[in-house]
Amino acid sequence: MNLTKLRRQFPALMQQVAGKSPIFLDGPGGSQVPQSVLSAMSAYLGYYNSNLGGAFFSSDKTVELMANARQAAADLLNAPSSDQIVFGANMTSLTFSFSRAISRDWQAGDEIIVTNADHFSNVSSWQQAAEDKGAKVNTVLINEADCSLDLAHFESLLNAKTKLVAVTYASNTTGSINDIKRIVELAHSVGALVYVDAVHYAPHELVDVQDLDCDFLACSAYKFFGPHLGMVYGKREHLEGFRPYKVEPAKDVIPGRWETGTQSFEALAGLIAAVDYIADISELDESYSRRDKLTAAFAKTKQHEMALSEYFLTRLVNYPKIKLFGIDDLDRLAERTPTFALTFAGLEPRQVSEFLGKQHVCVWDGNFYAQGLCKQLGVLDTGGVVRIGCMHYNTIEEMDTLFNLFDELI
């Protein structure tokens, strides 16, 4: 992977701020965007801005665009069909919408399972749906040593009353990756559905919904080099079987029956470009399918991200005043993303992020809506953590700059 050539595709990475090249270690909050995505969005808005169903050229172009966007998303997630992809404003809005429909027939005495590993978009939505129906909510704890999900605890909560399991593929705070395939197998053994939040996972690993056998999987394009756009994959029988809340004149066929209002067509144009940007990292020619290219591309980016993680963790051991939450075993790098949750002795997380921000090193602090995780780790009421989040466009040199600033700060 030619990192120099890759980085040149991102205007944000090439800019100067107060005479310095900014360092973006804020990827988990939203990645930077390549020029190809910006150009695709601008071209659509500039020449073809229209709604669906008109008897003229720009509307025809929009219909074609939407079909292409569904196929791009299907290729990214390995969905069996493009009509199993639902688009919306963001993952949170879509999840609330799906939670309303899925919970329609829940009754008092039914149970659902959420986890302490999750962003609360995949917790609050289900908690509130359960409250409306009088269903019981069970919460899976994490293993505090590595911030992975406690599968033994999860299995103990499963029973014949369990209707749904909502679980994250990877923690947006600590980077720990969960064994979703095993979770799905266990949930299905008692007849429960599984709704997977892959928002943090999707920029770092290739998703395969058919291999996972999950019922639903949600992610967001702005986390994988695209615009602000949410998407949900659903099994056909669920998309056709559950009754969404929709306006009466809207067609009752999938996937449109789940898509309320006019979609952001410019964002869909950006989505296609973002998926193709990732595929192009493979450097495979046009004889290969987009899915084949994505497979090869993610293999390259994973190798680079594991190298970043190894370098970061190796250097971090020399800083006893910095505490890491998450996997620190170099033999387990494949089980985490290059996302690191830190606390600094004697410093509040905001103090650290502000210090780094003044040097144009962009990081986040707080709980990142992973409220259950931060509460279990005992950091919720002390400002949360500092989150260092790398993407495949980050470099070892940027890591060196970060640690040099740690030296100054500490």
DSSP conformation class of 203: T
Phi, psi of 139 (to 5 degrees): -120, 125
pLDDT of residue 120: 97
Q: Which domains, and CATH codes, for the chain?
A: 3-33+290-409 (3.90.1150.10), 40-276 (3.40.640.10)
pTM over 0.85: yes
- Mean of the pLDDT values across residues 314-339? 98
Rg (CA), the chain: 21
**366-396: per-residue pLDDT in tens?**
999 999 999 999 999 999 999 999 999 999 9
**Contacts for 162 with CB less than 8 Å, ≥ 6 apart:** 111, 112, 113, 138, 187, 190, 191, 192
CA max distance for the chain? 67
Q: Give the mean pLDDT of the chain.
A: 98
Instruction: Count CB-CB contacts under 10 A for residue 301.
Output: 21
Q: Would you state the structure tokens that stand for residue 379, as one six-digit string? A: 């950091």
Phi, psi of 173 (to 5 degrees): -110, -45
Contact 73, 224 (CB under 8 A): no
Give the C-alpha separation, 267 to 355, whole Å. Answer: 34
**51-103: per-residue pLDDT in tens?**
999 999 999 999 999 999 999 999 999 999 999 999 999 999 999 999 999 99
Give the C-alpha separation, 328 to 104, whole Å. Answer: 43
